[in-house]
Structure 1
Amino acid sequence: MNIYKTAEELRSFVTEERKQGHRIAFVPTMGALHEGHLSLVRRALKENDCCIVSVFVNPTQFNNPRDLETYPRTLDADSRLLASIGTTALFAPEVETIYPEPDTRVFHVGAVAEVMEGKYRPGHFNGVMQVVSRLFDLVQPDCAYFGEKDFQQIAVLRAMAREIKSPVEIIACPIVREEDGLARSSRNTLLSEEGRAQAPNIYRILSESRTWSKELSPKAVIERATQLLDAIPTLRVEYFEIVDADTLQPITRWEDSPKPHGCITVYCGEVRLIDNIAYY
């Protein structure tokens, strides 16, 4: 596996791949890799000639300095994992490579970026769009793979791609879960022993809520799920919304959307976990 740290090294590699007529896939990550990330890379390698993975903890998408400080950084272990599955190249830039100057761009992608995470983490999605658009410029991929755990992020990035007229195809891949249902996340390594034991209740209750949706309104489903989760030690719901899967706007009746989707954020102790589920 090739490892590049500078834009010049990466550009040279991409140029050679293009000369050979290769289709280039890209998997952007913030490191602390787990099976969820690796599943994206495996699919990208299967469907394309080569796959470039980036590991970069992006400072502009953290609105909580403490969260940035504690985000796990495990580049050596990440490199070994990526090499073990045949990743073509790893791009591990320094902040100065991604942002040689402060990025002052402000993206305007509409309502998909203003609800849920956009509401509770102001500035977060603008930072995500800054780094992803910058990485797209550097990597010049044909397609990029993202996990559906970050359901809203995928909608935001597709809107961004339309705004900047990016030709990169954004491909969404299913959530990878632990055996007990907990969505794989780099943040899971920060959970306490008690928190790790309780965190699977998030998906358990989301799954149960599919049954309730046959009799209860979206509002009633939200209220019941929130009440049950908040009653569990260490868990506290920040928000749970049922929205249209395409527009991400809240619905009040199931018939308001052909694709109702539930998106939730729960604090497990001090660790913020997200998950989502389809009701269609």
Structure 2
Amino acid sequence: MRFEGTRDYVATDDLTVAVNAAITLERPLLVKGEPGTGKTELARQVAAALDAPMLEWAVKSTTRAQQGLYEYDAVSRLRDSQLGDARVHDISNYIRKGKLWQAFEADQRVVLLIDEIDKADIEFPNDLLQELDRMEFHVYETGETIRARHRPIVIITSNNEKELPDAFLRRCFFHYIRFPDMETLKRIVEVHHPGIQGALLTTALTQFYQVREQQGLKKKPSTSEVLDWLKLLLAEDLTAEDLKNGPALPKLHGALLKNEADVHLFERLAFMARGQR
């Protein structure tokens, strides 16, 4: 069971090595990188390449680790008891299975994505240590122990919004997705916009990297944003010459610049450039 990338996802050599190392070690793969660099999509493509079902647990600021295991709905049970419902005699009727439980009881090996783990409380990763390590957990309400039939391939993403505990990091195989260079980005664009005219692509990506490297930029545009930008350029039937002859502020810049401070930065640069002519 090896991941070699897919037709729809350009995986660099170091990324494929990381995925396969995590699978071999049976450790969670912790993937970090800028937002929009394909961390979440990686899990979906690993599942597709290995022909494995995928379960996705999207973490929010209010998410608790227990929700990934199960939740006991005591309120519904109390309501049903007041109504005389016979279901109250079986407590399992009020156990809601979480994503880890679903992954553990699956009939085949699944890919489990724990997406944006850094959004949750700092104790969230530590609360999952034993379950991810031993691949089992206890259900106190029913007295049963749930063990994984097949150890899932666990992929965990983080945008680095907060540091993760050392004890959690020790149990993971780590990989940082670096922002792609020009040639790799061209390969990614070819997957999403096949046959794009070479001169347009080169000119657009040159401008894109100039935007990313601009000093004082608050938010650098990501891979997903340059793909959106190129889609708009193609929809407007713009050429390389249109981009070269345009203002310092890129055409259709709303796809690349996502806050007013960055837009004002490029407007000032354009004004200064005109004053120096």
TM-score normalized by structure 2?
A: 0.31
Which structure ranks higher in relative contact order (CA pairs < 8 Å, sequence separation ≥ 6)?
Answer: 2
Greater strand percent: which structure?
Answer: 1
User: Structure 1 length as normaliser, TM-score?
Assistant: 0.31
